[in-house]
Amino acid sequence: MAQHDKKSVVLLSGGLDSMVSAAMAKEQGYDIIALTIDYNQRHKIELQSAQQIAVKIGVVEHIVLPLDLSRFGGSALTDDIAVPKSGVSNDIPVTYVPARNLIFLSLTLGLAEARGARDIFIGVNALDYSGYPDCRPEFIEGFERLADIATKAGDQG
């Protein structure tokens, strides 16, 4: 680990947004602990991509945590639910995994606290959030407030 001991946990899905957030953390001088959640998603290629990104960026540790969200159901990303090929809807899409980012960020925050990392990174795109409620700026801001009151570091400053 680097002398400066500037640690972060990056939630690394293997997608473009998480790759960019990992690169930003590296650029800012963080030693990165990458956390990838294998939530039994249908597109396993993301897990392979996460591993490749972790190696390329040079994370100090890459944890792949199994968490079978298909047991909850309710999403085309984990279940055998068809994804509509056309049409625009104002409804939350079938590809939304219920509370996924809330669950993932909670795990990321717990890992960060356990490892003494004061910063966490997640790659969500508010401009292209596609109707996912847990990708909106209000969600991220709310989670930041929660992290401030739910952790030892937040409580002790």
What is the pTM assigned to this prediction? 0.90
The reply to whether 19 falls in a domain is yes
Q: Number of structural domains, the chain?
A: 1
The reply to whether 35 falls in a domain is yes
The reply to whether 87 falls in a domain is no
CATH number, position 27: 3.40.50.620
Q: Encode pLDDT of 136-151 as tens digits.
A: 999 999 999 999 999 9
The reply to whether 2 falls in a domain is no
Q: Encode pLDDT of 94-135 as tens digits.
A: 888 999 999 999 999 999 999 999 999 999 987 765 788 999
Residue 59's pLDDT band (boundaries 50, 70, 90)?
very high
The reply to whether 39 falls in a domain is yes
The reply to whether 157 falls in a domain is no
Q: What DSSP assignment string belongs to the chain?
A: --TT--EEEEE--SSHHHHHHHHHHHHTT-EEEEEEEE---S-THHHHHHHHHHHHHT-SEEEEEE--GGGT---TTTSS-PPPSS---SSPPTTPPTTHHHHHHHHHHHHHHHHT--EEE----GGG-TT-GGGSHHHHHHHHHHHHHHSHHHHH-
Domain that holds residue 44: 7-81+92-151
The reply to whether 86 falls in a domain is no
The reply to whether 26 falls in a domain is yes
